[in-house]
Amino acid sequence: MKIIILLSVLLSFVSCKKEIIAKKGGLDIISNVYIGASKNLENRRSFLISRLNYLGDSIVEIVPEPEIPEMSRHLFFIKDSVFYPLEPAGNLLLSEISKKTKPSLVFDKKAGAIFSKDPIPNYRNRRNLSDTILFNKKFRRFEINSPWNYTRYYVYPTDTILPYALYRHAEKDYSGRIERIDSYNKKDDVFVSMQLIPRKNWDNEAKEIFEFNHFATQRK
């Protein structure tokens, strides 16, 4: 009888555990590249790859200029698995753009955040590592080692689902969010660290677009 009660409690706990869909916020994707990494770590270049701002499943992506991150090179509206260019960016009605502009698949997008349906290369050959703490956050880790590359993945345990993920299939397996990938190219001696940094607030440019669209919708 006690076993039946215990099983009932465990099943109830599992069934009540639900994923939380993030409603509003942003993500920055940053990359640090080290040339000749085995010799020294001084030859480094940092890139702000993308600034993703989301409201539900709607994303406004700002792709900065590589040399001047304060300036925007591209502006995209992303929803579901398609995207629309938002250039020029003056008083844009997202609902009208989605009706009048032919969409493109996010998997074909060449600039900014990469959207991929492919699994992590050699994922079946991964090896789990002990947990670690970085920037006051605890991460689960796994590594993939091949003759050409060594890559380490850092997964932050969370039930909160964001509208963008680096590798959704791995996040499901590890019940968390991949927030860092460190990769070393053995042949070229290049070390690349990519970080996904969540934030609560929108960029000013994205805020203007979202608020303008909210105001326009309320007037209808």
Residue-wise pLDDT for 169-210, tens only, equals 999 999 999 999 999 999 999 999 999 999 999 999 999 999
Q: 3-state DSSP helix/strand/coil percent for the chain, to nearest 5?
A: 25, 45, 35
What percentage of residues in the chain have a pLDDT greater than 70?
89
- Cβ(30)–Cβ(47) below 8 Å: yes
Residues 10-37: tens digit of each pLDDT: 444 444 456 788 999 999 999 999 999 9
Is 61:49 a contact under the CB 8 Å cutoff? no
SS3 letters for 45-70? EEEEEEEEEEECCEEEEEEECCCCCC
pLDDT above 60: residue 89: no
Q: Write the single-letter amino acid at 40.
A: N
> Cα–Cα distance between 112 and 52 in angstroms, integer?
9
Phi, psi (degrees; rounded to nearest 5) at 9: -65, -45
* CB proximity list for 40: less than 8 A, separation 6 or greater: none
Inform me whether the pLDDT recorded for 8 exceeds 90: no
What local confidence, expressed as pLDDT, does residue 88 receive?
60
In one-letter notation, the amino acid at residue 52 is: L
